[in-house]
Structure 1
Amino acid sequence: MHIVRFAACPPSPWKNGGGITRQLLIHPAAANLDDFALRVSVADVDSDGPFSRFDGIDRTLTLLEGGGLQLQRDGAPLVTLQADSPLLHFAGEWPISSQRLAGKVRDFNIMTRRSQCHHRAERLSLDGSLTLAHDGPLLLFVAQGDAVTVSSDGASDTLQQFDLLWLEHAGTLQLHSDSACQLLLAHVVFAGQRSDGDA
């Protein structure tokens, strides 16, 4: 059970000065933006403009904070994201540009390299206790709320808002929160692994 504390992730300013990104996880650990299989990050978007292009990458994006983010593809309206909007799944090759509706926004981003792995992400509401059996690897991110207790294979810890849990192997995960919170789950399948839908 590997926990990434958001508070411990240093911000990296964008080259164009339009925001900052905190990288929560990259796989393999020694990878960079040119050769990662999996990358998870949180970005503070301070300006409008085009997204960086990532050929061969599948992306999932959701808004965590802020007054909304309008996205265009090839100049045509694509979607307007709010904190409660459905997750947006799109290809890194798409020419996407964004416009903030009411100032700065913060977003959560999962990227997987199509030739090496794929991911399936979903929202999960938690208020009380829940047990999840999973095939691994599994990402769990606290999008709203805090003090989420996580237990797996005899280990237990507490996640705060924007903390990330990474489980590489199959198992059972127990979750508990005394108040309502929103979690993001992502199942990751690397090349050569069986997925839930495999025969």
Structure 2
Amino acid sequence: MSSRAEATTHGPEPARVIRVEDLAPTPWPNGGGWTREIHRQPSAQRRGQTAWRLSLATIDTVGPFSVLPEVRRWLLLASEGSLHLSIDGTVHRLGHTDTVEFDGGAAVEVIAVSGTSRVLNLMTYGGVGGHLQAGRLSENSEVSDRDTAAIVVLDGHLVVRQASLGRYDTLLLGPQSVDVRSEAATVVRVGVGGTRGDLPPPTSGRWADGTTDRNT
């Protein structure tokens, strides 16, 4: 993992809190933005390779994305405003919490951005499935890594034991269920697993409107 993290349980592989202020920004090669890597998960099947990677990007100008063959990507606009992408010639207009999925080998270009945008970026490798799903959690929820690899806070606060998570902080989940308390928290649930196309939406925990899942 690329940052200092706070364990929220004892024992092997506890849930961990990753603070956005602890993430060092790395400039893009084309100068069009910055990336803060939240987590890089090693592959259990492919020694020395990555299964999935989660990051937070800052975009403030137009320009092309890097081409990443054999990678599947999901982008979610985490900040207010709008972001327009051209993906293999098709224009996608993203508003707050909108998501787009595309192949890393596609020709992707930012063609319009309102101010400075923050974008949550999930990449999976080797055909692994994934998704990003935004919504408001109910006041009290129980979450686990069975269907949610991580939770990223967009607004409000999420309380996990003694830790309070604010904007762009991340709860990286382990095998043990964790009780969380939402204080008007809008979050993104990061799902990773299975093969591309067969990963169901998260079912653990509840959204504030009483449903168990919500598509962005």
The letter of the residue matching 1:110 is L
* Number of aligned residue pairs: 180
Quote the residue 1:104 is aligned against: 116
Contact 2:81 2:117 in 1 (8 A): yes
Which runs of structure 2 are paired with 1:70-89 in the superposition (5 Å)? 70-77=84-91, 79-85=92-98, 87-89=99-101
TM-score of the pair, normalised by structure 1: 0.79
Is contact 1:137–1:168 with CA below 8 Å preserved after alignment?
no
Choose between structure 1 and 2: higher strand proportion.
1
- Deviation (angstroms), 1:106: 1.2
**Aligned with 2:134 (options 120, 123, 129):** 123
Residue in 1 that maps onto 2:4: none
Counterpart position of 1:182: 186
Q: Residues 126-174 of structure 1: CA distance to partner in whole angstroms, max 9, x if unpaired?
A: 252222355266211112222x1125xxxx53212111111232x4232
Amino acid at match of 1:69: L
CA contact (8 A) 1:136 1:167 kept: no
Whichever residue aligns with residue 145 of structure 1, its letter is G
Distance of aligned partners of 1:161 and 1:46 in 2 relative to their CA distance in 1, 3 Å threshold: same
Unaligned runs of 5+ in 2: 1-14, 202-216
Q: Which residue of 1 aligns with 2:53?
A: 39
Whole-Å separation in 2 of the counterparts to 1:124 and 1:55: 31
Q: So what's the TM-score if we normalise by structure 2?
A: 0.73
2:39, 2:53 within 8 Å by CA — same for their partners in 1? yes
Do 1:137 and 1:189's aligned partners in 2 also have CA atoms closer than 8 Å?
no
* Residues 144 and 174, structure 2, Cα contact 8 Å, conserved in 1: no
Deviation per CA, 1:26-80: give whole Å up to 9, x if none.
1229xxxx94221111111121011111111111111112421111123332x11
Aligned match for 1:172, one of 170, 177, 182: 177
Structure 1 residue ranges without an equivalent (≥5): none
What is the match of residue 63 of structure 2? Answer: 49
Secondary structure of 2:150's counterpart equals strand
